[in-house]
A and B are shown apart, each in its own frame.
Chain A
Amino acid sequence: MREYETVIGLEVHVELATKTKIFCGCSTAFGGAPNTHTCPVCTGMPGSLPVLNKQVVEYAMAVGLATNCAITQNCKFDRKNYFYPDNPQNYQISQLYYPICRNGHVDIEVDGVKKSIGIHEIHMEEDAGKLIHDEWEDCSLVDFNRSGVPLIEIVSEPDMRSAEEVIAYLEKLRMTIQYLGASDCKMQEGSMRADVNISVREVGASEFGTRTEMKNLNSFKSIARAIEGERNRQIELIEDGKKVVQETRRWDDSKESSYAMRSKEDAQDYRYFPEPDLVPIVISDEWIARVKSQQPEFREEKKARYQEEFGLPEYDADIITGTKHLADIFEEATKICGKPKKVSNWIMGETMRLLKEKEMDPEDITFAPENLAKIVNLADAGTINNTAAKEVFEAVFNDNVDPDVYVEEHKMKQVNDEGALREAIEKVIAENPQSVDDYHNGKEKAIGFLVGQTMKAMKGKANPAMVNQILKELL
């Protein structure tokens, strides 16, 4: 069989983290009963008019600058015309002719090989509403709460050649955008979505093959599977002497296969023209400079600083800066308690363990950094011992409880009262003569048993260092 190369380009949609929609003052908050975050503008009422949210432009510029794009200093919106019930005006306000950013790139690394992925353009547009199938009535219900939520679409060049590169590119984009605070980029919740353009060609060929566009990919795993599936499908067609048809296909992750989204009612002729209801956006050099100056510290800078300023090992700094959310928690907790290494230990240890156990992503962490700082302080002051601290941490991780209150309510304070400890230990020694003998006969291990018995008697709250010390003294 001939050898083939896969050529992949991505169209990534990212929901921006603005408080309001792109063209009206409706909230972008998730959830809410159907159509409770809507107004005449985002439901396409006759006579309504759009007014652009300035923050959308700033976020789009910030992402463009962080991905080495040129900013289009005279940019405009266009209307993309197509009928669908989730599209209230039956046109989407988007950008075709003068997108806000062009000609950028991001650098990725796969298996130690560095590569630059070109960004063709980034444009701003509005999201559509949501269609819910109603089994009972056998119809669809339209909810416009998401209609008008601002999106940027990042269109890459066809520079990727494998699923690994695609995922590295997406991870890089996600991290960059999260660091900018421009979006939370959660694929599961749809705030980051990727359409994948795929073609295959024989290795060495200079022309691209016919591409297909794959939609409905909502996790990195499904993207990898879809690329593999589509590559094989196209190669099979070519090997059978058939032609790949340029079309849009929908990936069904449960069946691990795709099907063409064809309909004679979809002419795919969007009749773009300049949006007459919006005026052009003129972006001055000063404006670009201001957005640039507000760019945050990105991962590489942060990583270096954590090693230098806080003395973290490179490995730890790498993990913590791997997501903006984790880095934020680290910095915030450190700022409160002033103990970076201890905070780092909690993140590297218990946090990672619980994330893995619960199959969560770092973005899903909901506890407040100040509660982590409190645990560090409680443990450090000896108010709770290590075992208790882990238990408190788990409660913080799950329910973001206040550690002070939790420790109080669960009577978890460590006993540091020497009199009380001495009394308990004397009782343990009296009740376990065999172990005492073993210890005196050189069985060092026996002391561990006695410590355990003491802890048990003290319901786990005894200060272990003091127990050890008093035991040795009494024996």
Chain B
Amino acid sequence: MDLMSLTAVELGRKIKAKEVTVREAVLAAYDKIDEKEAELNCYVTTTKEAALAKADEVQAKIDAGELTGPLAGVPVAIKDNMCTKGVLTTCSSKILENFVPTFTAEAVINLEKAGAVILGKTNMDEFAMGSTTETSHYGATKNPWNTKHVPGGSSGGSAAAVAAEECSFALGSDTGGSIRQPSSYCGVTGMKPTYGTVSRYGLIAYGSSLDQIGPIARDVTDCATILEAIASYDPKDSTSIKRDDYDFTSALVDDVKGMKIGIPKDYLIEGLNPEVKDAIMNAAHKLEEKGAVVEEFDLSLVEYAIPAYYVIACAEASSNLARFDGVKYGYRTPEYNELHEMYKKTRSEGFGPEVKRRIMLGSFVLSSGYYDAYYLKALRTKALIKQAFDKAFSKYDIILGPVAPTTAPEIGSSLADPIKMYLGDIYTISVNLAGLPGISVPGGFDSKVLPIGVQMIGNCFEEKKIIRAAYAFEQSLKAERI
């Protein structure tokens, strides 16, 4: 039996039924890692020894009946921008090449409580800035479907690790599409929850008002199960929201009868790859067959989300990343004569080009004389975008659309033209600006056999609707395969 081909929930069930030990599951994951890492580079750090010790500990708790949840004993990979006590956490940056946190991110603690066993930390775009995982200081991650292509980003390591079966599931973070887009490129299921649903405590911030942690997994059931485990109200995160509906798995129902689904006409524009468009239309058709009502509508403002996003995210990033200065932790330049030289050399040597580009832009738009024209303008645009979504959700239960305009591009083809790269985020970014939940589910392949993701967007706090729709769509694809 190939343990790593199972979904997290299936594996958890076998562990619970004593068909498989936790140690066996963890060793199976490391076998895959040993087999594929050299080619794919999904991980920055693996922690085999600690994971095996943890496996035995978790096993004992399962045997004692203390751990009964669906993820007990299931091996997980964590994106390297979430703090893990005692384990190197780099954000795939040189500036944190030696940083060992002294506390663990709340979302990761929640997973540990559920009995998941951490295999290691996954590669990402440096500080989550990028859409390809090529900006990592520790080398690019390859797409398991075709290693000439990128896995997407910034959670490229997490998505590729799930696709390559180098873990049962993974955590990613999504600031402008960083969970959904790599999930789409790697043919896995990834979900960004409503802002405030998963604690950001311990997540190394990129754009604080946009960042949200979420699951990357094999299917919708896994996603709902993982989200149920990691979501919590956290008094340590002032933007955490107390909810009374954490039972996300209750939405795993194959029923979309009467569900109203809108497809924004302004999503189906020039630049959208026809094969991707076909996949979306196919998904719409499948849901229609199950009784959903699908129609096209004008969402409006779609193209304005990108500039508004880059102003807001870069401004916040320029401030969030100021703390990396060689004083308290991380890299410090070896040679300097005075304080400001130490700061400048440390930061210039420690950050990669994309990070520097965004810090420069963010510092500029906040600087004296430009704040109103750029930053406030972007915040006003954000308000309009939120209004546009509010209007849409007054008519539709969910919005259906692409995750990205294309499938995974070839390695080396994106970074040269940043604006073109940023344009690739057009379908994901506005979801972050409006704080909405979104899911990417596999919806087929293009002619190059690269996966295509389908995105479903819900109104805030309505994860259950997109889980239900995604689950129904997944079921119809499964039925087709059989």
Contact = CB atoms under 8 A, between A and B. Distances in A.
Contact between A and B in the complex (any CB pair below 8 Å): yes
A142 B327 contact: yes
Contacts of A277: 205, 208, 238-239
B238 A271 contact: no
A50 interface: yes
Interface stretch (B97-105, B176-184, B456-464): B97-105
Given A46-B101, A271-B363, A279-B239, A90 B323 contact: yes
Contacts of B204: 46-47
A85 B319 contact: no
A77 to B, nearest CB: 10
B237 interface: yes
Given A46-B99, A271-B363, A271-B367, A278 B238 contact: yes
Contacts of B203: 47
B343 to A, nearest CB: 6
A85 B340 CA distance: 10
B452 interface: no
A279 B200 CA distance: 14
Nearest to B89: A46
A88 B323 contact: yes
A298 B238 CA distance: 36
Contact of A273 (B99, B343, B371): B371
B328 A90 contact: no
B96 interface: yes
Contacts of A43: 328
Contacts of A142: 327
A81 interface: yes
Contacts of B319: 79, 81, 91, 271, 273
B202 interface: yes
A382 B363 CA distance: 76
Contact of A49 (B200, B322, B339, B343): B200
B351 to A, nearest CB: 14
A409 to B, nearest CB: 51
B366 A47 contact: no
Given A45-B328, A271-B366, A276-B208, A89 B201 contact: no
B394 to A, nearest CB: 26
Nearest to A40: B103
A90 B346 CA distance: 14
DSSP majority for the B interface? loop
Interface in B80-103: 82-83, 89, 91, 96, 99, 101-103
A131 to B, nearest CB: 10
Interface residues of B, number: 44
Nearest to A43: B328
A269 B318 CA distance: 14
B368 A46 contact: no
B238 A81 contact: no
Interface residues of A, number: 29
A81 B322 contact: yes
Interface in A225-284: 265, 269, 271-273, 276-279
A47 B83 contact: yes
A47 B101 contact: yes
B273 interface: no
B397 interface: no
B36 to A, nearest CB: 29
Interface in A38-60: 40, 43-52
A287 interface: no
Contact of A276 (B89, B201, B209, B371): B209
A272 B366 CA distance: 7
Contacts of A88: 323, 327-328
A431 to B, nearest CB: 80
A273 B319 CA distance: 9
A406 interface: no
Given A271-B363, A277-B239, A45 B329 contact: yes
Interface of A: 40, 43-52, 79, 81, 83, 85, 88-91, 142, 265, 269, 271-273, 276-279
21 contacts: A45-B102, A46-B83, A46-B91, A46-B99, A46-B329, A47-B204, A48-B202, A49-B238, A50-B238, A51-B238, A52-B238, A81-B318, A81-B366, A83-B343, A85-B327, A88-B323, A91-B322, A271-B367, A273-B315, A273-B371, A276-B316
